């Protein structure tokens, strides 16, 4: 079975992507999934695009974007499912330390199949926008990595999520600390994910479209998770239909090389394992 459990419901428009939370927009993703042999897809719009989450945000970047309606988004995804394709309802949720209760209270009102937990910034400083900006401007590589993985382990421990997305996003610009430091982050993170209980990690082809040019996560982190029986999902992080299921042969090859033979399928936040590929 092949699942693509991370994509953003948009419509390509003149060189950029426009939010389009409609069943028709979802169907364009479904078409590509069918073409590429993907059996099931899951939409996971960013949590900060919705006015229902406004009270969680303080930065203009988020406040400018939280104008869309979460009910409309959920209805569009559920309607796409009714039109006869296994489309799952998800959300990509930025982990905001200290706001776990508020996050939980907003999210519990919707019929999610799964929730992705993501770390894109630390204390308001992005790590994935620009290698000369955000956290990179303030700290050496080793410290950026340390802070990123501390936040990611916090997301694991929060108990709010079903999957950790792009689990070593911090390598996005190809910068890495020493091999010993990388190994330590992998082991400690795998420990935290294992301790969280029912939590999967995502094998994402998004990194292939970024400067690093690699699947997230590193084989080392994936192997550390495999040793602890942490399950996986596969994902493209598509923002346009054409990226659905893209490069999945590489993701599945990496997962197999790390020892995985199953992939996680979610229904209403219940996980089960299916044969991978
Ligand atoms: Zn993300
Ligand atoms: Zn995403």
Ligand 1 centre to CA of 4 (Å) is 14
Ligand nearest to the CA of 169: 1
Ligand nearest to the CA of 238: 2
Q: Which residues of 115-153 are buried (b: 16+ CB within 10 A; e: fewer)?
A: bbbbbbbbeebebbeeeeebbbeeeebeebbbbbbbbbb
pLDDT of residue 13: 84
Q: State which residues of the chain have pLDDT below 70.
A: none
Ligand 2 centre to CA of 217 (Å) is 15
DSSP one-letter code for 111? -
Ligand 2 centre to CA of 176 (Å) is 22
Ligand 1 centre to CA of 166 (Å) is 7
Ligand 2 centre to CA of 43 (Å) is 9
The 10s digit of each residue's pLDDT in 163-179 is 999 999 999 999 999 99
Find out whether 156 and 189 touch, Cβ atoms under 8 Å.
yes
Ligand nearest to the CA of 8: 2
Q: Return the SS3 of 125.
A: strand
> Alpha-carbon distance 226 to 221, whole Å?
9
Ligand 2 centre to CA of 227 (Å) is 27
Ligand 1 centre to CA of 195 (Å) is 23
């Amino acid at each position: 079975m092949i699942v693509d459990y991370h994509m953003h419901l948009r419509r390509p428009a003149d060189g950029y992507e426009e939010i389009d939370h409609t069943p028709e927009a979802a169907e364009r993703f479904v078409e590509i999934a069918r073409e590429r042999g993907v059996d099931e897809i899951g939409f996971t719009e960013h949590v900060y695009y919705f006015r229902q989450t406004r009270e969680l945000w303080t930065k203009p970047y988020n406040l400018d974007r939280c104008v869309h309606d979460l009910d409309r988004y959920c209805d569009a995804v559920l309607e796409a499912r009714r039109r006869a394709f296994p489309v799952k309802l998800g959300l990509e949720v930025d982990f905001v330390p200290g706001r776990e209760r508020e996050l939980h209270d907003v999210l519990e009102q919707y019929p999610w199949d799964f929730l992705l937990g993501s770390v894109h910034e630390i204390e308001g400083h992005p790590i994935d926008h620009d290698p000369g900006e955000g956290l990179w401007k303030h700290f050496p590589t080793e410290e950026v990595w340390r802070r990123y993985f501390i936040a990611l382990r916090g997301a694991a421990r929060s108990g709010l999520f079903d999957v950790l997305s792009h689990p070593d996003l911090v390598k996005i610009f190809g910068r890495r600390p020493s091999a010993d430091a990388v190994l330590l982050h992998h082991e400690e993170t795998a420990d935290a994910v294992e301790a969280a209980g029912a939590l999967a990690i995502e094998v994402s082809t998004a990194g292939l479209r970024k400067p690093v040019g690699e699947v997230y996560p590193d084989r080392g982190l994936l192997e550390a998770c495999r040793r602890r029986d942490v399950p996986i999902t596969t994902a493209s992080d598509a923002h346009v239909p054409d990226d659905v299921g893209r490069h999945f042969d590489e993701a599945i090859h990496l997962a197999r090389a790390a020892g995985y033979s199953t992939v996680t399928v979610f229904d209403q936040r219940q996980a089960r394992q299916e044969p991978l590929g």
